[in-house]
Amino acid sequence: MRMGVDTGGTFTDFVTIEAGTLRIAKRLSTPFNPAIALIEQVARGAAPEILVHGTTVATNALLERRGAVTALITTRGFADVLEIGRGDRPSLYDMHQTRPEPLVPVERRFVVDERTTYDQQVITPLDDAEVAALIPFLDAHQVTSIAICLLHSYANPAHEQRIAAILQAHNPAWHISVSHRIITEAREYERTVTAVVNAYVAPVMQRYLTTLADGLPRSTTLRIMASDGGSMGVYSATALPARTTLSGPAGGIVGAFRVAQAVGHTQCITFDMGGTSTDVALCDGDLPRSSGSAVGGLPVRIPSLDIHTVGAGGGSIARLDEAGALRVGPQSAGAAPGPACYGVGTLATVTDANVVLGRLQSDAFLGGDMQLDPARAATAIDSIAVSANAGQVDAALGILRVVNAAMARAVRTISVERGHNPKDFTLVAFGGAGPLHAAHLADELGMDRVLIPRFPGVLSALGMATAAVTRSTSRPILSLLSDVTVQRIAVMLADTSSDLAQALRGDGEDPATFTHGISLAVRYKGQVFELDVPLGKGAVCTQADLAAAAELFHDLHQRRYGHTMRERAIEVTMLTHRVANQPIAIPSPEPSQRTSALMPRSWVDAYPDDQPTAQPTALYVREALCSGDTIIGPAILTQLDATTVVPSNWQLEVLATHDMLLTRRPLDRRQRRI
């Protein structure tokens, strides 16, 4: 029995897999202590053998700046690297932009006289007495966590190891993060920030995991979803909490890609719209892997899935700005007080707009388990309508157009800006609000296909429940590809294999059951950024693999940037070794049968199209649908975890897997908008 649990800003989702059957549940999140909703739900049934949890604890600690009191120890001359950062401008024409405040203020940044080189040479030895002299200052600042990041420690970590040993001997309760255990590359800014992020969230994550461990049954093995799309044990999550900064969204992408893969749509764009945000990713035949991500404006150089997030969700609050323009998000009503239609809040949200337009039925939300308040939603939308001098329906449609435009910009960021045409991809829509907006978003992007998974509202939890256990580690190379030898790779792989095996055993895993993958970070000489190039198969590298890597790099560069520079030398900066075990299969649905023709549960007056005119709309209960059923829009489908809207220019087909494929249908010439 396995359970996947995804804690979101509004709802906590549960998926249980047992004996080939799949059960789902949703309950309101408990933002003041996310563990409560999880522990209470688990207590209602049999204890799962394995529980895989996607958590926002580390992410929220970063975004809200409520992590541990952290200090930084670095090489003399590098204390201000956190503030110097990079010379790029996130918003090119914003003359008043500010960078995020460093997690460690200047008074808690300490330096030591030491120096090693990129080729492991020691120029200035470390003085133990100088390290010991820092201890009174660390005590005076009441630090609970310490990041240690020295120049070139990725090549020679001896000084970092010695500093950590001295500090740990003085105070075993200190959380100490040494950079060479977290990130092994030369970029000082990214390496320092990642080490600091890990130290900043470590005590918060440890407290949370301790609370979970105390509240869960002793027979349950707890795993945490990692940013790279795999899961890890509590041992790894405690030591490397920076791996969890994209924990929840990663589970959604894994689940969405596996669903799309099962029905032959591996060229897909995943669209996860939840209560507070929307996450999108482009899968061009495989999961979109990245060497790092940005959280709260900070670069976290930990292997992750390439995810783009915008503050647009069902709970996003609508308002008029100083100039009278309609804005939606990024502020969210969350789970408390929630949208006005939940019965407590008063501010207009995206969910309230959907209720006013009849796209969300008040008696069919969460499968009828939660009654919405349409009058309260109407009152909230009226406050926007009066301020904008518009009608209630126009205000509600305006809110949805604004939020859809924000999500369309996010999709274009990961597609058009990288040389991909969204029309060539299938939109995989999930999350509690994804199927509500999917067809209209596809219209905005010119996409013709939308895939709605069987359980869209809990797909992130499903991805977690079925995810493989993963772990990766890297080693710097800093060499021309032509100078890299098979023997050198073999020595590095022996080292990385040992580290990975030790980490897996710490999580209670058997390393012999894991498969291996190797990649190189490759660039043209003179470039700053690299592309990840797979290197052979398994944990063995041949001369032919190295030759193939060069050609594959040219192809990847052409696809990503539109050109190659074959006359220029190729550099390798890093080798990454990744291991994973076999993911769990998604249970197949029971064969569906129905003796009578498909009929709507009822008809309602709603606004399923982007038009201010109500029309009779068929209302279906999704559980009544069978594979092979076809529905012509306009229609609304309700189920426990989501509501799907099928506009007039779309039709829906139920696949053998019980997933639904929406396709655009040609409109009569009289229906086309000019």
Unique residue bearing structure tokens 């470039």: 527
- In tens, the pLDDT along 559-575 reads 888 899 999 999 999 99
**Token output for 168:** 């740990």
For residue 113, which of 98, 123, 99, 102 has the smallest C-alpha distance? 123
Please check whether residues 542 and 423 belong to one and the same domain: no
The stretch 263-290 carries a mean pLDDT of: 92
* Residue 327, domain member (yes or no): yes
**Model pTM above 0.75:** yes
Q: Is residue 118 part of a domain?
A: yes
CA distance 639 to 366: 7
Q: Which two tokens stand for residue 366?
A: 């969460």
Q: What does the pLDDT read at residue 670?
A: 40
Q: Within a 13 Å sphere around the CA of 637, how many CA atoms are in the beta-carbon half? A: 32
Q: Measuring CA to CA, which residue among 66, 101, 69, 70 is closest to residue 83?
A: 101
Reported as a single tens digit per residue, the pLDDT across 71-103 is 999 999 999 999 988 877 777 787 877 778 899
Helices (H), 33-141: 35-43, 57-63, 81-84, 128-132, 135-140
User: H-type helices in 349-449, by residue range?
Assistant: 350-356, 374-388, 392-414, 434-445
126 and 178 share one domain:
yes
Query: In this structure, is the dihedral angle defined by the CA atoms of residues 491, 497, 503 and 506, taken in order, positive or negative?
Result: negative
Beta-strand pair 70-75/109-112: parallel
pLDDT digits (tens, 9 = 90+) for 590-611: 877 777 788 899 999 999 999 9
Give the Cα-Cα-Cα angle 526, 529, 531 (nearest 5 degrees). Answer: 110
Please check whether residue 165 lies inside any domain of the structure.
Answer: yes
- Contact call for residues 431 and 316 (beta carbons, < 8 A): no
Q: Is residue 225 part of a domain?
A: no
Nearest to 114 by CA among 65, 63, 163, 173: 163
Residue 306: name the closest of 250, 348, 262 by CA: 250
Per-residue pLDDT at 56: 84
Does residue 186 register a pLDDT over 60?
Answer: yes
| Amino acid identity, position 404 | N
pLDDT 10s digits, 613-644: 999 999 999 989 999 999 998 999 999 889 99
Residues 6+ apart with CB under 8 A from 56: 7, 8, 9, 34, 247, 248
User: The domain that contains 499 carries what CATH number?
Assistant: 3.30.1490
Which of 557, 580, 603 is at the close of a domain? Answer: 580
**What are the backbone dihedrals phi and psi of residue 376, each rounded to the nearest 5 degrees, phi first?**
-65, -40
Q: What is the number of helices (H) and of strands (E) in the chain?
A: 16, 34
Task: Specify whether the backbone of 93 is left (phi greater than 0), alpha (psi in -120 to 50) or beta.
Answer: alpha
HEC secondary structure over 514-535: CEEEEEEEEEECCCCCCEEEEC
C-alpha to C-alpha distance for 253 and 464, rounded to whole angstroms:
10
Mean pLDDT value across residues 288-300: 85
What's the token pair of residue 453?
């998974």
Q: Tell me the per-residue pLDDT of 516-558, one tens digit each, with 9 for 90 and over.
A: 999 999 999 999 889 999 998 878 888 999 999 999 999 999 9
Q: Across the strands, what pairs with 273?
A: 278
Q: Which two tokens stand for residue 199?
A: 């130290």
Structural domain count of the chain: 3
514 & 457 share domain:
no
Task: Please calculate the CA angle 254-224-494 and round it to the nearest 5 degrees.
Answer: 85
- Full domain range(s) for residue 478: 470-580
Q: At what angle do helices 247-262 and 459-466 cross, to 10 degrees?
A: 90
Q: Are 384 and 520 found together in one domain?
A: no
| Domain match, 377 and 285 both | yes
Q: Give yes or no for a contact between 147 and 199, defined as CB atoms under 8 angstroms apart.
A: yes
Instruction: Name the helix (H) or strand (E) containing 201.
Output: helix 188-215
Instruction: Report if residue 322 sits inside a domain.
Output: yes
Cα distance between residue 222 and residue 52, in whole Å: 6
In this structure, what token pair is assigned to residue 451? 């895939």
Structure tokens at 81: 């690297």
Q: Do residues 515 and 551 both lie within one domain?
A: yes
Which has more pLDDT, 169 or 274?
169
Helix, coil or strand: residue 641? coil
- For residue 235, give every residue at least 6 positions away whose Cβ sits within 8 Å of its Cβ, in sequence order, or none: 503, 506, 507, 508
| C-alpha–C-alpha distance, residues 439 and 427, integer Å | 9
| pLDDT over 80 (residue 368) | no
Q: Residue 418 contacts by C-beta under 8 Å, 6 or more apart in sequence? A: 282, 560
**In terms of domains, do 448 and 514 share one?**
no
* Interval 375-388: pLDDT, tens: 999 999 999 999 99
Residues 578 and 350: their CA atoms lie apart, in Å, by 41
Asked whether residue 224 is domain-assigned, the answer is: no
Residue 224, amino acid: I
What amino acid occupies position 4?
A: G
Q: In whole angstroms, how far apart are CA 198 and each of 81, 201, 583?
A: 17, 6, 27
For residue 546, count other CB atoms closer than 10 A to its CB.
19
Across the range 177-188, mean pLDDT stands at 90
pLDDT above 70 covers a percentage of the chain that reads 99
| Residues 474, 454 within the same domain | no
| H or E, element range at 582 | none
* 31 within a domain of the structure (yes/no): no
pLDDT at res. 672: 39
Average pLDDT of the residues in 59-73: 91
pLDDT (average), residues 425-449: 95
In a domain, 588, yes or no: no
Helices marked H in 234-349 — which ranges?
Answer: 234-239, 247-262
| Residue 460 in this model has a pLDDT that exceeds 70 | yes
pLDDT score of 674 more than 70: no
Sign of CA dihedral 301, 307, 308, 312: negative
* pLDDT of amino acid 667: 59
Together in a domain, 405 and 533: no
Matching residue, tokens 């032509």: 482
The answer on 562 and 655 residing in a single domain is: no
Mean pLDDT estimate for the chain: 91
Tokens 């992750």, residue?
304
Structure confidence by residue, pLDDT tens digits, 240-269: 999 999 988 999 999 999 999 999 999 999
**Same-domain status, 292 and 149:** no
| Class of residue 642 by CB neighbours under 10 A (exposed 0-12, middle 13-18, buried 19+) | buried
Boundary of a domain, candidates 580, 605, 639: 580
Last residue of a domain, one of 580, 603, 632: 580
Examine the domain organization and report whether 323 and 459 are in the same domain: yes
Residue 672 identity (one-letter amino acid): R
